Amino acid sequence: MLCSAQFLLSATHESQFPTPELPEVAFLGRSNVGKSTLLNKLLGQKLAFTSSTPGRTQAVNFFRVEDRILFVDLPGYGYAKAPKSVTRGWQEFIDAYLVNRDNLALCVLLLDARRGWMEIDLQLKEWLEFHQRPYMVAATKVDKLNQKERNASQKNIRGHYPDGDLVWFSGLTGQGVKEIWQTIWKTTAR
């Protein structure tokens, strides 16, 4: 699907966030899990910068989609090589976004399908639930799994997330794009 979408702005501080007018969909997950890739795949164009080097997206990048919603590409967490000061800075900055943003309609929490939930993902999940932020889970890079691995992954993910929206996604094949859009339209409709 090709959307009408434009890069809006890149923020490194809360004061630079756009005026909260449109519902926002934020993409969250560990560094290198495929957030920017998924966002590009949903839009059918390469707007967000992707890289095989973890920690590539450092700012919060906003994209305007169909003049109806904003997509928000967040920097990844859990990048082991990042200095502690950067990790702390990330937490404060992103926490501020996730807690204060009234127009945040949906978080798409990405998990690497090969790894499933890791401790840091579970912390974020609990945190989202505590703050009552609606979220869905996308298991990414499914193209790297065979059927047996996929079954094991499903068991792992459902073990901590029994009945919420879960989509299997591949940036290579486009699997899952339709389902993620369905959840986005459902949660941002008003």
Ligand X SMILES: Nc1nc2c(ncn2[C@@H]2O[C@H](COP(=O)(O)OP(=O)(O)OP(=O)(O)O)[C@@H](O)[C@H]2O)c(=O)[nH]1
Residues that bind ligand X (CB under 6 A): 29, 31-37, 50-52, 54-57, 75-76, 140-141, 143-144, 170-172
Q: Which residue is closest to Mg ion by CB?
A: 57
Report the distance separating Cα 140 and Cα 116, nearest Å: 10
Residues in contact with Mg ion, counted by CB under 5 A, come to a total of 3
Quick one: 50 or 188, whose CB is closer to ligand X?
50
Residue 54 interacting entry, from ligand X, Mg ion, none, C-beta within 5 to 8 Å by type:
ligand X
In DSSP terms, which residues pair with 140 in a beta bridge? 112
Site for Mg ion in 47-86 (CB under 5 A): 57
**In whole angstroms, how far apart are CA 64 and each of 25, 142, 147?**
10, 28, 37
**In whole angstroms, how far apart are CA 111 and each of 34, 101, 123, 127?**
9, 23, 13, 16
Quick one: 46 or 186, whose CB is closer to Mg ion?
46
Q: Is 36 in the site for Mg ion (CB under 5 A)?
A: yes
Stretch that binds Mg ion, among 29-37, 64-72, 164-172, 181-189 (CB under 5 A): 29-37
**In whole angstroms, how far apart are CA 150 and each of 23, 32, 157?**
33, 20, 10
* 90: phi then psi, degrees, rounded to nearest 5: -60, -50
Quick one: 36 or 140, whose CB is closer to Mg ion?
36
Q: Shortest gap between Cβ of 51 and ligand X (angstroms)?
A: 5
Q: In this structure, which amino acid lies at residue 46? A: K
Quick one: 20 or 45, whose CB is closer to ligand X?
45
Q: Which residue is closest to ligand X by CB?
A: 76
In DSSP terms, which residues pair with 109 in a beta bridge? 28, 137
Q: Shortest gap between Cβ of 102 and Mg ion (angstroms)?
A: 25
What does the DSSP assignment read for 14-47?
Answer: GGGSPPS-S-EEEEEEBTTSSHHHHHHHHHTS--
Residue 32 interacting entry, from Mg ion, ligand X, none, C-beta within 5 to 8 Å by type:
ligand X
Strands 69-73 and 60-65: antiparallel
Binding site for Mg ion (CB under 5 A): 35-36, 57
